[in-house]
């Protein structure tokens, strides 16, 4: 898995990189072995400036992921008042999308097997 992490108004430390990599690996677990498969993940972490303090409902941290692989593109975003909960929210949304995609593949395979099953 090829992961690129970008920080906006935020210093990327090794601890932050490790946190993002761990959460991303956990979210993409339903895809199988992500280390050997051609998956590219672009992660953007943003600390919003004080300009947004006056706007109601805007959180301080935002985490956004765009994952491409298997001919699909998954995009998830999470925001929170702290960085780690924003990354966790992004992880949950990404995991939900991956599980839905796997379910659609499984249903298509099952319907094809039902159509091929001999009747009578």
In this predicted model, what pLDDT tens digit does every residue of 26-76 receive, in sequence order? 998 888 776 667 889 999 999 987 665 666 566 789 999 999 988 889 999
Which residue, chain included where needed, has tokens 């995991």? Answer: 95
- Burial label for 74, CB within 10 Å (0-12, 13-18, 19+), is buried
Residues 65/41, Cβ–Cβ less than 8 Å: yes
* Structural domains in the chain plus CATH codes: 2-116 (3.30.160.100)
Phi-psi category of 28—alpha, beta or left, where left has phi over 0 and alpha has psi -120 to 50? alpha
Q: What's the gap between Cα 69 and its chain centre?
A: 12
Q: 106-120: per-residue pLDDT in tens?
A: 888 887 766 666 665
The confidence score (pLDDT) of residue 65 equals: 96
């Amino acid at each position: 898995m090829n992961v690129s992490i970008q920080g906006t108004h935020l210093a990327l430390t090794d601890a932050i990189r490790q946190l993002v990599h761990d959460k991303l690996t956990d979210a993409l677990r339903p895809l199988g072995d992500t280390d050997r498969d051609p998956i590219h993940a672009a992660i953007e972490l943003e600390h919003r400036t004080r300009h947004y303090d006056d706007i109601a409902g805007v959180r301080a941290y935002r985490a956004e992921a765009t994952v491409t692989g298997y001919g699909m593109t998954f995009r998830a975003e999470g925001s929170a008042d702290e960085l780690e909960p924003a990354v966790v929210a992004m992880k949950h949304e990404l995991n939900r999308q991956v599980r839905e995609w796997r379910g659609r593949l499984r249903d298509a395979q099952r319907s094809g097997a039902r159509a091929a099953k001999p009747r009578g």
